[in-house]
Amino acid sequence: MTGTTTERRLELRIAHLLRSGTYVGCLAIGLGLILSWFDGGHTARLGQDIVAAGIALFILLPVLRVTLMLAAFLKQRDAYFAMAAGIVLAVIIISCAVGWLMRP
């Protein structure tokens, strides 16, 4: 059953991605917050940027996960599920465009 083992491999890769991404994101936010508590311009500003990067990473993680699934389904020539993953990515991109265009 090659079908189930490739599926299993995909599940494990996703688990690994989400787990390590969570570690990095948490570390970035924690470190950034501590730096941002230093008084005075430079260090504090760097800290805030690191916090923002950690937040951006968390938002990006699920998107990366969908991309991983899209690639896997394309490789398996699984049209149904590749299409579903493609639609999800497209909706997220449209949502990004909406947010960017409506910025104050």
Helix or strand (DSSP H, E) at 102: none
**Contact letters (x/-) for other proteins, 14-43, by CB under 8 A?**
xxx-xx-xx--xx--xx-xx--xx------
Q: Which residue shows structure tokens 């500003």?
A: 45
Task: Using CB under 8 A, pick the residue from 46, 48, 74, 76 that binds other proteins.
Answer: 48
Encode burial over 17-56: b for 16+ CB neighbours within 10 A, e otherwise: beeebeeebeebbeebeebbeeeeeeeeeebeebbeebee
**Contact letters (x/-) for other proteins, 53-72, by CB under 8 A?**
-xxx-xxxxxx-xx--x---
> Which of 28, 91, 88, 31 is CA-nearest to residue 58?
28
Instruction: Enumerate binding residues for other proteins (CB under 8 A).
Output: 7-8, 10-12, 14-16, 18-19, 21-22, 25-26, 29-30, 32-33, 36-37, 48, 51-52, 54-56, 58-63, 65-66, 69, 80-81, 84-85, 87-88, 91-92, 94-96, 98-100, 102-104
